[in-house]
Amino acid sequence: MSKNINPDYMFKFPSGQTIHPCRLIQRDGCLMWKHALLYNNELCVPKTEAHEQHIVKTAQRLEELNSWVSRDSEPWECLNVMAWYVPQIEELSEGIACYFSYDQFDNEEIYATLSTHILSHETLVIKDRHLYFRRC
């Protein structure tokens, strides 16, 4: 990271890394750490290195799934994460699940596209007004 970035905006992770919230989780992806860690304008830094790694692996899988939806749209039109790593919410406390949606597609359309690409150990369902994805 640049020496010109204010260190007050950086967060120390359990692995020892210092990361800016706008840093991409996957090098060529579209998801930033702020997508995984922001909930109701509050930043939830991973409590353990395992949670940190779960977020990385979930991001990788979400990027793969996103490629099936956004292959015919503009690169910046991608999934909108509503909640991902929130330690105080049991189903989101490990970094392996998230709620998301797309601005330009409805949930039924996304579900129909992605359901054929969901692996046997994964879950994808429509909950409320969002899609819920769980890796394990």
What residues are paired with 39 via a beta bridge? 42
Q: Is 121 helix (H, G, I), strand (E, B) or coil?
A: coil
* DSSP codes joined into one string, 88-115: TSGGGSSSSEEEEE-SSS-HHHHHHHHG
Separation of alpha carbons 23 and 117, rounded Å: 27
pTM of the model: 0.90
| Per-residue pLDDT tens listing for the chain (136 residues) | 556 778 888 999 999 999 999 999 998 888 999 999 999 999 899 999 999 999 999 999 999 999 898 776 665 567 899 999 999 999 999 999 999 999 888 999 999 999 999 999 999 999 989 999 999 8
Could you give the count of Cα atoms lying within 13 Å of 5 in the half-sphere of its Cβ? 13
